[in-house]
Amino acid sequence: MWIADGWKDYEVIDTSTGEKLERWGKYTLVRPDPQVLWETPKTHGGWKKPNAHYHRSNKGGGEWEFFDLPKQWQIKYKDLSFNLQPFSFKHTGLFPEQAANWEWFGDIIRKQKAKNPGKEIKVLNLFAYTGGATIAAAKAGASVTHLDASKGMVTWAKENAALSGLSEAPIRYIVDDCGKFVEREIRRENFYDAIIMDPPSYGRGPKGEIWKIEDSIHPFVKLCSQVLTKEPLFFLINSYTTGLQPAVLAYLLGIEISSLYGGTVIADEVGLPVSSNNLILPCGASGRWSSL
Instruction: Supply the CATH number for residue 255's domain.
Output: 3.40.50.150
Regarding whether 251 and 162 lie in a shared domain, the answer is yes
Regarding whether 206 and 145 lie in a shared domain, the answer is yes
Question: What's the predicted TM-score (pTM) here?
Answer: 0.95
Chosen domain end from 54, 70, 86: 70
Regarding whether 101 and 62 lie in a shared domain, the answer is no
215 in any annotated domain: yes
Task: Return the percentage of the chain with pLDDT > 70, whole number.
Answer: 99
Regarding whether 60 and 100 lie in a shared domain, the answer is no
pLDDT at 164: 98
pLDDT at 242: 82
Helix (H), strand (E), coil (C) string for 215-259: HHHHHHHHHHHHHECCCCCEEEEEECCCCCCHHHHHHHHHHHHHH
> For the residues of the chain, what is the DSSP string, one character each?
-EE----SSEEEEEEETTEEEEEETTEEEEEE-TT--------SGGGTS-SEEEEEPTTS-EEEEESS--S-EEEEETTEEEEE---STT--S--GGGHHHHHHHHHHHHHHHHH-TTS--EEEEES-TT-HHHHHHHHHT-EEEEEES-HHHHHHHHHHHHHTT-TTSSEEEEES-HHHHHHHHHHHT--BSEEEE---SEEE-TT--EEEHHHHHHHHHHHHGGGB-SS--EEEEEE--TT--HHHHHHHHIIIIIHHH--EEEEEEEEEEBTTT--EEEEEEEEEEE--
Regarding whether 184 and 56 lie in a shared domain, the answer is no
pLDDT bracket for residue 206 (50, 70, 90):
low
CATH number of the CATH domain containing 42: 2.60.40.1180
Length of the chain: 292
Helix axes 213-224, 178-188, angle to 10 degrees: 20
Regarding whether 135 and 51 lie in a shared domain, the answer is no
91 in any annotated domain: no
Amino acid letter at 255?
I
pLDDT at 91: 95
Mean pLDDT of 77-87: 96
Regarding whether 122 and 17 lie in a shared domain, the answer is no
Average pLDDT, the chain: 95
Please report, to the nearest 10 degrees, the dihedral formed by the alpha carbons of residues 197, 141, 25, 131 taken in order.
-30
Total domain count, the chain: 2
pLDDT at 13: 98
- The pLDDT tens digits of the residues spanning 95-115 come to 999 999 999 999 999 999 999
- Phi and psi (nearest 5°) for 150? -100, 120
Regarding whether 109 and 38 lie in a shared domain, the answer is no
Q: Could you tell me the residue range of the domain that residue 160 belongs to?
A: 96-290
pLDDT at 198: 95
Regarding whether 126 and 192 lie in a shared domain, the answer is yes
Mean pLDDT of 133-140: 98
Mean pLDDT of 155-160: 98
Regarding whether 121 and 249 lie in a shared domain, the answer is yes
Regarding whether 118 and 22 lie in a shared domain, the answer is no
Regarding whether 198 and 132 lie in a shared domain, the answer is yes
Mean pLDDT of 173-185: 95
65 in any annotated domain: yes
275 in any annotated domain: yes
